[in-house]
Structure formats: C-alpha cells, structure tokens
A and B are shown apart, each in its own frame.
Chain A
Amino acid sequence: MMNEQTLHLSAAVLMLVSFVLIVWGLGTAEWMWMTGLGCAVLAHLCALWVNWAPGKDDEDDGAAKEKASSEGEAASA
C-alpha cells in the first residue's frame, strides 16, 4: 500500500503529465489530449483516494472541533 505522500506525489505528477499531453496534443493528435484528460481524472481520483482514507476527513473535522472547543474554553476563560 502506497503511503499518503507517494499518492499526493503521484497525483501531482499525473497532473503535470496531463498538462503536457493536453498542450502537446491539442494541436496535433486527438488521442493525446484525450489521454491527458484521462490523466487529469486519474489525478483527481488519486487525490480523492488519499483524503478518502477511512476517517481522514473525520480526523480533520475532529481536529477542527477540538480546536474550536479549546477556542471556546479560551473565550470563556
């Protein structure tokens, strides 16, 4: 199983690949920009997968709530 950083890196690389294929392919070959578009979709799926790890959003949310409660305590104090 790839770790989070590798997945983020993969998503970024896929984005760059999609950019190259699209820019290159728009003037030349249809298959090229179509592949680029596919790479972009894959990159977003990849990024979504990382954030989709069980409890990932909940963790962020939990951290935010924890912070909010500590802020609330601070305000009441």
Chain B
Amino acid sequence: MTAPRLRAVIIILLAALCCTLPAAAAQQPEGGEKAESQRLGFYSYSDTETGRLNLALLPGHRFMLVVQHTDGGATGLEGWSHIEGERLFLSSGTLDLDGVFEGPVLHLDYQGAVYPLYSEAAAAAAQGEGGGEKPGVTGAAPGALPITLWYWLAATIPLAVLIFLLVGLHWSPASASAASLASAAVIALTLYEMPLHTMAVATGEAVWDAIFIMYIVWPALALYSVIKEAGAFDRIEASLQSLVDSRLLLILGVAWGFSAFIQGIVGEGVPLAITIPLMLQLRVKPIYAVLLPLIGRTWGNVFGAMGEGWLLIERAIVLPEPVMTALYSGILLWIPDLIAGLSIALIYGGWKALRRGVWAILAISTAHSGVQLVLAPFYPQVAGFAGAAAGLGVVFLLARYGPYAEQDQDCPDRIFSKKNSQAAQEREDGGNDESNSEKEVKLWAAFAPYAGLCVLSITVLMIPPIRDFLSQWALGPAFPAVSTPLGIERPAEPSYGAFQVLTHPGTLILAVTLITCVLYQQLGYFDHRSGLRIGRRAIDESLPATTPFVALVLAAKVMELSGMLLVLALGIAAVTSPAAYSFAAPWIAALGAFATDSTSGSLVIFTPVQATAAQALGVPLSVIIAGHAAGAATGNALAALDILIGLLVIGKPQLLGRVLKYTALWSLAALTVVGTGSFLLYWIVT
C-alpha cells in the first residue's frame, strides 16, 4: 500500500474517532447507581479442575471479606481489609494472606454489593461438569472482561500499527504515533466500551506524564549543547581514548557500563539522554549511538534507579518468597546483561570482535550481574547501582592490565562514521595546532558535568534522609476514579504522578546544566549569547516532539484503562499450560513494556495479572515474577518513548523506526533465551 493510501487510512480512522465520540457519549450510563453496582474492583479466575478460586484485587480499594471457618462451626470471620497494591489468593479452603485466615471464603462485600465467591453447590456442579477440563481463566463476576480471540486481536492492533508504520513504512514518529493512538481510541471507545469520561482522564494523565518527559528532554538537550558548545566533548573523547586503548573495550564501557551505571542511579530515559551524546562524540553513527546504550542498560531496569522496579513489584503483590524471587530475578536478569555485552561486540566488529571481547564481556557481566545477584535479595535498592559500579571498575581494570590494555590489532569501522573518522584522523595527524589555537578545555572541567550529575544524583536519590527531606515537596493533579462497563476499574488518584520538584531527574539535569553554564562562563569557554542560542535550540528541537510524546503515552493509557492490556496478558495466560506459561511470562512482560513504553508500566499493570495466572495454573509465583521482571527489563529496549528521548537529544527523531527494527530483533532473541531460562527455573523448582 502506498504512503498516500495509508495516510488516507489515518484520515478515516480519525474521522471514525470523531464519529465515535458522539456515539460513545450517548452510551454514557444514564443512572449512576446502575453503573456503580456493576463496577468491580477485582478479577477472579476459577480453576474448574481443582475448584480453586483466585482473586486479584485492584490497588486502592476497600473490601470486606467474609470468611467462614469450617473447622470451628459457623463462627465466621469478618473484617475490613484495606488493600493497597496487594493481592489476595483465595481457594475453597484457604485464604492465603500471610496464612492468617482459614476456611472457605463465602462472599466478598465490595462497596455495599455482595459477590458470591464460593458455594458448595456451585463447586459440586463445577466438579461434575468441568472436572476434567484444563484449568482456564474465566471471568467469574458480572461485568468481567471478555477474554476472547476477537478482543485479543483487537488489542494488538494499536501496537501492530505503530510497529508497521515506523519500521515497515519508515513513517515519522509523529504520524505513526498519531495513527496508533487513533486506532487505540477507536477500539477502546467501541469494542471495549470505554466511556468518554475515562478517555478524558487518560488524556489528562498522558499530558501530565508527557510534560515531565519533556522536562527531562529539555535540560538533557541543553546540557548536551552546553558541553558541545564549549568544546568539552573533544577533550572527553581524547581522554577516554587515552584511558582505554582498546576501542572495543571503550564502546563496551560507555554503551554497556556507563549507561547501566546511570541507570543504577536514575531511570526515565536519563541514561540514554546522557550516554548517547558521548557515543556520538566517539564517532559512532547516530543509529548505533542510540541502539547500543539502549540494549546495554536493559539488565539494570529492575534493580536500578534505587530498585524502583523491584519496589513496584513488592507494592503490586504480596510476595510469598521475596528472597527466592529476588534471587531468581537476579539469575534471569543475567541473561539480557550477557546478551547485551555479546551483542554490542558483535555489532561493533562481527565475530572477530566477539571472539576478542568475550573474556572482557564475561568479566564485566560477572561484575554486573554477579554483584546484583548477591545483593538483590537483601539490598534490592542498591543492587543495580552496585553491580553497574563494579562493572565500570572492571572496565578500568581491563583497560590497565591484560590483553585489553593495548590497542586493538584491527579497528573495524562498521559502527563508526566514516566522515567523522577521517576528521578525527586529520586532527590526530596535524590538527593539534588548530585545536590549540582555541582555549582548550581543562580535563576536570570537561568531565565536571558528568561527575557533577553522578554526585548530585547519588546525594539526592541514594541518601535516605536527604531524599526524604527533598521529596516532601510534590505536586500532582487529582483524577477521579474511572471504570468501564467491562469491569475495568481504577480508583481515584488524589495526586497523580506526583512531581517531586527537587528530586525529579529533570531538576537534577537542569541544576547541573546551569552550574556547568556558570562554570564554563567563568573559565571563558562559553558566553551568555551561547546560552540564549542553546535555549532556543532546546525549544525548537523538542517542540515538534511534544505531540508524539503525548500520543505514545496516551495510546498506552487508553490501552491500560480500557482493559486492552489486561486482555493481551490474560489471553496468553488462558491458552497456555503451566510449563508453557513459565516460558510465556517474560514475553507478556515485554509486551507490557512495549505497550506502556516503560519497564515500570509493565511491572505496575501486569504483575498482579501474572501472579494471578501463576496461582491459577499452579506455577511457582517466584519463578513467574522473576521471569516477569527479566522480561519487562528486556522489553524496555522496545520502549518507543525512551528511544525517542535519546534520538531527540541528538536531533534525529526520524531514526525511530530504524532503531526500533534493530531493538525488536534483539529483544526477540533475548526474550527467547530469557523465556527458556524461566522455563528451566520452573523445571528445576518443580
């Protein structure tokens, strides 16, 4: 299909969206009470073979659980359970909440409505009619989400549209994200019966999220421009190359080691925004400058950024075996770490470079994931950072001692820009006089912004008293509770995505940028006119990306609040056996990371789903959650939003489709191995 025709398809989709809005408005429930009575704050999945009932409670709801003891007569046990991101497992005999309750759970009282959860007659009927059936996932409550092939296929459309237009047709991010959003909105409003009110909440939340993504992009762009304007990048490049003679080790150190080190401190696209300009300065072609750090930092997505990912898992569900789960997660996260190192060497110089770099890769990977594995069960907040720091230490040791202390015998130029390589060679040959004619940037001053950012981030984010003190100033808009007729419910958000003014990564980069400006001005590398020019450039280059950012975030929000994401995950869970599910869990997590553009999004939304499915299928929860964590981290390489942040900093947003194509291939390969690892863990544990 030609591009104009596909553009016509977008017009039709948008027109359909406009036509759907009044229709959806007409579908708004007339009586509030009726809609209220159909809202459910839980999903239940029954296993017809065992009669076991699994219940996933959505975060932020209050439930009354009525439990009757069978061993002590009909005494009953009744009480409020305040659920904050936790999940309860219910079976016909046991309510598994820290082993407190015993006996059948008769019903659940939610917002005044009583939902029967267990009855002997129903259980007997289930045993008689479906006792021999394969355990499945079924909606067991009014308004439950339909897990059918039709709904599942419809839920894949927005993601397929995005991939197809970006990778297949090389559309610009703006056009492709708009098309993906339009398709998500049409499907949500029609098939998934998403009310307009919920759509409005999704839009408000998406714009709020996008504002703070831009708040990271602007300062990162400005910092890059300040360092470039002052000529400090040349100094950084020269000193890095004198410090690390082997170019392969240097690329591994920056793309794999340094990006993961930044990821260990702070996430949200910052590692890419900081590392990609460095890669570019090392004469790496833009597409590889983005690709290599993107895959290099994936392993740190769970225990990095102060263990943010792990904390999200712990907040989403009650982990029965937290130590073992963290341990398994550490083991499975080793896989994307090792594959990232091997892939970077392979991309750098093919099999020859891989053979040369394999010992360095094994050593760095052992430091990365070995330290993370040891620390993760006991100190999850610092495990990623410590692993990344150990990895950087190994890079410097290898640069000083052993075979990597010497220059590579051959320097493949596959990932390097030819034009830039020639310029670098000319500078090395005879350009010294020319560079000396300008005021040379001192070594400490060249590295000051990066060192300053690391020190400031560690101080602000990793020292609890300082972090707690600075985190108290937070600001976030309130959004009401939302629901859909299909049973999706999200509680009210009194302060959505609270912007912590003083600890936000954007503020840290902005502070470092301003300090760098003053420092460079004092040292004479930079004048105030340059500052104005840089500010103008930051606005000019980032403004066109505003709407694609909003479109990508909004498409993810629409998919989340309409229930499309849940259908995607539950659909896969419904058709797999326990063993197959252990393989599929990382794929589901990666799908979540791709759809929500972040590891965190996948962990927040899909962790309860994965846990419920694991319980229903009888797969050890620790294995599935570990596979989920590793899959979400690996799938982050597919997060279009993160890639766009990196590309925007270097002014190449049009490369999004091409980068996505490579990361998709890498993710498919890595997820296959992670899935196999998860399956082996399941096999060993069971």
A→B interface (CB under 8 Å) = 4-5, 8-9, 11-12, 15-16, 18-19, 22-23, 25-27, 33-34, 36-37, 40-41, 43-48, 50-52, 56-58, 60-61, 63-65, 68, 70-71, 73-75, 77
Contacts and interface: CB of A to CB of B under 8 A. Distances in A.
Given A26-B197, A57-B175, 7 more contacts: A15-B547, A15-B550, A19-B208, A33-B204, A36-B203, A44-B547, A70-B418
Contacts of B181: 44
Contacts of A18: 203-204, 207
Contacts of B413: 74-75, 77
* Majority-rule SS of B interface residues: helix
Interface of B: 3, 7, 10, 14, 17-18, 21, 25, 170-172, 174-175, 178, 181-182, 196-197, 199-201, 203-204, 207-208, 210-211, 285, 287, 413-414, 416-418, 477-480, 540, 543-544, 546-548, 550-551, 554, 654-655, 657-658
A51 B175 contact: yes
* Nearest 10 CB-CB pairings of A with B: A47-B547, A74-B418, A22-B204, A19-B207, A60-B654, A51-B174, A61-B170, A33-B200, A12-B546, A23-B477
Contact of A48 (B3, B174, B207, B655): B174
Contact of B547 (A43, A64, A73): A43
A73 B603 CA distance: 43
Contacts of A56: 172
Given A15-B546, A64-B654, A74 B207 contact: no
Contact of A34 (B172, B200, B210): B200
Nearest to B182: A44
Contacts of B175: 48, 51-52, 57
Contacts of A70: 418
Contacts of A48: 10, 14, 174-175, 178
A77 B544 contact: no
Contacts of B197: 26, 33
A41 B196 CA distance: 13
Given A33-B197, A44-B551, A56-B172, A8 B479 contact: no
* Majority-rule SS of A interface residues: helix
A7 to B, nearest CB: 9
B544 A8 contact: yes
Contacts of A75: 413-414
Contact of A37 (B174, B200, B550): B200
A77 B199 contact: no
A5 B21 CA distance: 29
Contact of B544 (A22, A27, A37, A50): A50
A50 B657 CA distance: 19
A74 B181 CA distance: 38
A66 B200 CA distance: 42
A53 to B, nearest CB: 11
B204 A19 contact: yes
For B171, B178, B203, B416, the residue with the greatest tally of chain A CB atoms inside 10 Å of its CB is: B203
A56 B657 CA distance: 15
Contacts of B417: 74
Contacts of A11: 546-547
Contacts of B547: 8, 11-12, 15, 43-44, 46-47
A67 B170 CA distance: 13
30 contacts: A12-B546, A12-B547, A16-B207, A19-B204, A22-B204, A22-B207, A27-B478, A33-B200, A36-B204, A37-B21, A37-B200, A40-B550, A40-B554, A41-B21, A43-B550, A44-B551, A46-B547, A47-B551, A48-B175, A50-B174, A57-B170, A57-B172, A58-B3, A60-B170, A61-B170, A61-B654, A64-B170, A70-B418, A73-B418, A77-B418
Contacts of A22: 200-201, 203-204, 207
Contacts of B174: 47-48, 50-51
A3 to B, nearest CB: 12
B544 A57 contact: no
Given A5-B540, A63-B654, A74-B417, A26 B204 contact: yes
Contacts of A19: 203-204, 207-208, 211
A52 B285 CA distance: 28
B30 to A, nearest CB: 14
A43 to B, nearest CB: 6
B289 to A, nearest CB: 12
Contacts of A43: 547, 550
B551 to A, nearest CB: 6
A9 to B, nearest CB: 6
Contacts of B25: 34
A60 B174 CA distance: 12
Given A8-B546, A41-B18, A71 B200 contact: no
A23 B540 CA distance: 28
A15 B207 contact: yes
Nearest to B658: A64
B203 A34 contact: no
B529 to A, nearest CB: 21
